[in-house]
Structure 1
Amino acid sequence: MKRMFQKSVLSKFTICALGLGLLAGCASEEDTVIMAPVPVVKSEFTPSTEWSTSIGNGVGHYFSKLNPEFAYGKVFLASRDGLVKAIDPETGKEIWKADLEKDVYARLSGGLTAAYGQIFVGTENGEVISLDEETGEELWRVLVNGEVLASPATDSNLVLVHTSRGMLIALDQATGEQKWTISTEVPSLTLRGDSAPIAVSGGVFWGTANGRLAAAIVERGQLIWQQPVGTPQGATEIDRLVDVDASPIVLGGTLYTIGINGQLIGIDLRSGKPTWKRNYSSAIDMTSDGSRIFVVTDKDHVVAVDARSGTELWKTDKLENRLLTAPALIDNYLVVGDSEGYLHWLDRSTGEFVAQQLVHDSGFSVSPIELPEGYLIVTRNGDVKKLTISQ
């Protein structure tokens, strides 16, 4: 069945204006986007459920991107209302749980990130919270300038947090004490979402709301370069959005980034200069198998490009406007989830559909993650399953 979505949220990305939340009424009733029907796929394999559990009420219909994290031999999960759990990946049994809701609704939104024997998560209330990975005990909680919608990064005993107010903030991993801050410009109209920073070789890299990829030295918080990814164009404010909300990825000495109404760019890590540019627009994370970059565009076209040259290898529009998750690599397949609760499995070499499964009609906000001997999925309503592939 076809469904209709207003372009006032650019099909899939929530827009916020001056911190006032949703921007409504940007399109007429005729200005609509049509969701592609579910592709007819003859599945080459059938996933088997190893165990099932839940994580509270999940994230519901909210923006929260609470990615599950596999680390320290555990799976860590979180719900928007403040529940965090550690579970055994073999059995699904709970190891510990913590309730992070205090005097106000928790509104967990950025994370999870595991490092230094801790779990880090951010909130729409402007908090960053650290938990002990073994016990779930809260170690510290600090306020930062802006909502934390993206997963923190870690390096050099620092927790690096990108906020909705254009701040990249470094916190001491042991205490939460603020060590340095870098500010970037935030336009009056932006997409709801922020680029999760990545830290590589003493540098930290992140996308900005004003259409740039920024780089800084981790230890000192010194900005070293900014590379334009998109240039505002068009007659309306929405057409002129240039947010770089996807987290960059690094392969060897090259960094890759993409922006809305912008470009997919390969950038030399040392010089900050582009090695190639291609016209793709997206605001969600990419993935790579080492030789190819996999992108979900703003129209939910799934694309593979050669990492060395940017040459398009294949593209499919059969999932257009189905509100896809970021792509993930599971068992050598490329996998995306959609808003109706389907997982779509593609051959990563050709882009052909190889399998499909309906999980839950609440849909997906985050990608599945690979586990030893299987993979984990989390639906918007908080259902959690470990599955394996049976040929």
Structure 2
Amino acid sequence: MELYNRHSGASLGWRRLRRAAAVAVALALGGCSLFSSEKPRYPPAPLANFTPTLPVSSAWRVSVGNKSEVGFIPVVVGDAIYAATSNGSVGKYSLDTGAEVWRTSAKTDLSAGVGSDGRITAVATPRGEVIAFDDTGAVKWRAQATSEITIPPLVGDGLVVVRSGDYRIQAYDADTGRRRWSVQRPGPALALRAPGEMLLSGGFVFTGLPGGKLIAIAANNGAVRWEGTVANPSGTSELERVADVVGTPVISGRQLCAVTYQGRINCFDVGSGNSTWSREFSSVTGLAADVRFAYAASDRSVIYGFALDGGANVWKQDALQNRGVTAPSSVGRAIAVGDFEGYVHFLQREDGSLLARIATDGSAIVAPPVPTDRGVVVQTSKGNLALIHVGQ
């Protein structure tokens, strides 16, 4: 995990952050490794012994490119998977077999990707360029955003939407690349480089922002429907006051939930933006939800289950503490998380007990597993894409 100074454009590495602010987060995210020449301050929990009760198996694995970082999350559309890696590789693959449908190169390094609706696939570069491909892998258009983009573009409703490092949300016409609207909000000087995505639902774009804010924007014209505060920054220094919304806002029924680093988990009425419940919490990866529960991993990789009706904490699982787990994903009767050694762990939704574990390629998984009707798709730091079948 890194901090980013939007004024200077400089990243503050994890060791510097720890010395400056004594922020006790030991996670494997992006440029931050749990293992170095130093003894880790918070050693990762060893893999627990348990009797697996959920059948899981590796269906296939394919290489997309040679490196994947925070900001690269595969997208499943129908029977296809779209994925990209930071060395510029972009591809479409069969969900059933992993077979390559097409693969191309952006001919430049990438900072985020992908977004796709199955017709247009978009990625972003460190210089803030947005590149859109048609569904043969040919470049359809390029557009210039106002600054670096580190979360995947959002594609849908005839738009490609990006959120840049200057806290501006910009929408482009999916066919032409013409800018349709732009919304900017003030933000703090320091922001996390942490996993994040925007959400498109019911004609609105929902996105969290650094500084603990959540915003709902009409997709057709960029009008702001409402703004909510997930958490208010607190502390005496800029580092202590980092309280960014991380991960993807999630909708369950009438509730829209989000979580921050050094702040809270907060659920809102999706129509009005009024808070329905909140709890103190700190995460650097995000959350998931189903019809009954919200799930989130703390900044120490302790996983919690909360009742969506009122927010009561119904269980806690610390067997994966300090293993740099991803945001959870709900799949069948389980939730799934990846970790810094490339393992995917499956937990019981009702009580958090361990159900199964499977290895991938030994490299860190920094994007949340993507649930499908065939199991979960994961993308590893080595740039591999894999489908894991999940039984009942």
Counterpart of 1:15, as a letter, is: L
SS at match of 2:242: coil
List aligned pairs for 1:75-224, cutoff 5 A.
Answer: 75-101=81-107, 105-109=108-112, 111-115=113-117, 117-133=119-135, 135-193=136-194, 195-224=196-225
Q: Residue 14 of structure 1 corresponds to which residue in structure 2? A: 2
Is 1:27 paired with 2:18?
yes
CA contact (8 A) 1:162 1:196 kept: no
SS at match of 1:27: helix
User: CA 1:87 to 1:232, structure 2 compared with 1: closer, same or farther past 3 Å?
Assistant: closer
> What is the percentage of aligned positions where both structures have the same residue?
27
User: CA 1:285 to 1:342, structure 2 compared with 1: closer, same or farther past 3 Å?
Assistant: same
Q: Residue 28 of structure 2 corresponds to which residue in structure 1? A: none
Is 1:57 paired with 2:60?
no
The one-character-per-residue Cα deviations of 1:255-304 (angstroms, maximum 9, x if unpaired) are: 11111111111111232211111111223231112111111122211111
Distance 2:139 2:255 in 1: 37
Counterpart of 1:279, as a letter, is: E
Report the alpha carbon displacement of residue 46 of structure 1 after superposing the two structures with TM: 5.0
The one-character-per-residue Cα deviations of 1:208-243 (angstroms, maximum 9, x if unpaired) are: 112211222222212243222222222333221111
Distance 1:51 1:31 in 2: 34
User: CA 1:358 to 1:73, structure 2 compared with 1: closer, same or farther past 3 Å?
Assistant: closer
Report the alpha carbon displacement of residue 367 of structure 1 after superposing the two structures with TM: 2.6
Counterpart of 1:21, as a letter, is: S
CA contact (8 A) 2:121 2:155 kept: no
Among residues 47, 54, 74, which one is paired with 2:56 in the alignment?
47
Distance 1:30 1:55 in 2: 33
Q: Residue 22 of structure 2 corresponds to which residue in structure 1? A: none
For these two proteins, the number of residue pairs brought into alignment is: 371
Report the alpha carbon displacement of residue 379 of structure 1 after superposing the two structures with TM: 1.6
SS at match of 1:290: coil
User: CA 1:193 to 1:183, structure 2 compared with 1: closer, same or farther past 3 Å?
Assistant: farther
Q: Residue 71 of structure 1 corresponds to which residue in structure 2? A: 77
Distance 2:158 2:312 in 1: 38
Deviates more, 1:35-44 or 1:254-263: 35-44
Q: Residue 235 of structure 1 corresponds to which residue in structure 2? A: 236
Counterpart of 1:94, as a letter, is: E
Contiguous gaps of at least 5 residues in structure 1: 1-12
The one-character-per-residue Cα deviations of 1:67-89 (angstroms, maximum 9, x if unpaired) are: 12221422222111111122222
Q: Residue 346 of structure 1 corresponds to which residue in structure 2? A: 347
Structure 1 segments (4+ residues) deviating >6 Å: none
User: CA 1:92 to 1:30, structure 2 compared with 1: closer, same or farther past 3 Å?
Assistant: closer
CA contact (8 A) 2:70 2:195 kept: no
User: CA 1:190 to 1:142, structure 2 compared with 1: closer, same or farther past 3 Å?
Assistant: same
Report the alpha carbon displacement of residue 389 of structure 1 after superposing the two structures with TM: 4.1
Distance 2:150 2:119 in 1: 22
CA contact (8 A) 1:128 1:144 kept: yes
Distance 1:233 1:108 in 2: 30
The one-character-per-residue Cα deviations of 1:177-221 (angstroms, maximum 9, x if unpaired) are: 111111111211221147422233333221111221122222221
List aligned pairs for 1:280-291, cutoff 5 A.
Answer: 280-291=281-292
Distance 1:95 1:204 in 2: 29
Counterpart of 1:51, as a letter, is: W
Distance 1:307 1:381 in 2: 36
Deviates more, 1:279-288 or 1:319-328: 279-288
Counterpart of 1:16, as a letter, is: Y
Distance 1:208 1:168 in 2: 10
Report the alpha carbon displacement of residue 125 of structure 1 after superposing the two structures with TM: 2.4
Report the alpha carbon displacement of residue 155 of structure 1 after superposing the two structures with TM: 4.5
Distance 1:116 1:383 in 2: 21
Deviates more, 1:292-301 or 1:363-372: 363-372
Report the alpha carbon displacement of residue 333 of structure 1 after superposing the two structures with TM: 1.2
SS at match of 2:246: coil
For the aligned residues, what is the CA RMSD?
Answer: 2.2
Counterpart of 1:100, as a letter, is: A
User: CA 1:273 to 1:144, structure 2 compared with 1: closer, same or farther past 3 Å?
Assistant: same
SS at match of 1:26: helix
CA contact (8 A) 2:92 2:100 kept: yes
Counterpart of 1:312, as a letter, is: N
List aligned pairs for 1:256-271, cutoff 5 A.
Answer: 256-271=257-272
The one-character-per-residue Cα deviations of 1:39-61 (angstroms, maximum 9, x if unpaired) are: 223223453333332112131xx
Report the alpha carbon displacement of residue 320 of structure 1 after superposing the two structures with TM: 1.6
